[in-house]
């Protein structure tokens, strides 16, 4: 192989799957419970916002906002959506500092919808 050809090789050419047909390549999606045969999936992605009302500036308390997230997940499930994700944030206008706890409450309140973290702040969980 010439030097110029080596500069233009791709990582897949070195991984043992070069030239393999798509059906012969490993399907890592299965490991994560994803099925390409299902097509496009839809869901709700939230970072747990807790913003003031744009009309009067008032905000519900954080507990009420958390109950609203649970209700949103239930409504998403009832509407036939595939997933609901909630993220962790430690800023003033967010109510999801303990998002894993809220996701646990959502798991208890729903039956079929997939749930997950839309963001996790690793530096706050550093041992």
Q: Where are the alpha helices (DSSP H) in the chain?
A: 3-7, 62-78, 99-109
Q: Where are the alpha helices (DSSP H) in 31-125?
A: 62-78, 99-109
Q: Count the Cβ atoms, other than its own, within 10 Å of residue 35.
A: 10
Q: Which residues pair with 94 in a beta bridge?
A: 49
Higher pLDDT among residues 118 and 57, named by residue: 57
**Residue 3: pLDDT band with limits 50, 70, 90:** very low
Instruction: Please tell me the predicted confidence (pLDDT) of residue 7.
Output: 42
Over residues 79-111, the pLDDT tens digits come to 999 999 998 887 788 788 888 899 999 999 999
Q: Which residues pair with 115 in a beta bridge?
A: 84
- The overall average pLDDT reported for the chain is 78
Instruction: Please tell me the predicted confidence (pLDDT) of residue 19.
Output: 54
Walk me through the domains of the chain, giving residue ranges and CATH numbers.
Answer: 27-125 (3.40.50)
Tell me the whole-structure pTM to 2 decimals: 0.65
Instruction: Please tell me the predicted confidence (pLDDT) of residue 53.
Output: 86
Residue with tokens 């030097």: 3
86 three-state secondary structure: strand
């Amino acid at each position: 192989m010439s030097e110029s050809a080596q500069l233009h090789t791709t990582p897949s050419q070195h991984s043992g799957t070069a030239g393999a047909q798509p059906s012969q390549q490993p399907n890592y999606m299965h490991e994560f419970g994803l099925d390409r045969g299902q097509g496009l999936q839809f869901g709700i992605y939230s970072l747990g916002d807790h913003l003031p009302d744009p009309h009067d500036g008032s905000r519900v308390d954080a507990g009420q906002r958390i109950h609203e997230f649970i209700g949103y997940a239930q409504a998403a499930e009832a509407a036939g959506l595939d997933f609901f994700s909630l993220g962790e944030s430690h800023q003033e206008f967010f109510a999801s500092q303990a998002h894993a706890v809220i996701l646990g409450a959502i798991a208890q309140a729903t039956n079929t919808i997939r749930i997950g973290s839309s963001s996790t702040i690793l530096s706050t969980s550093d041992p």
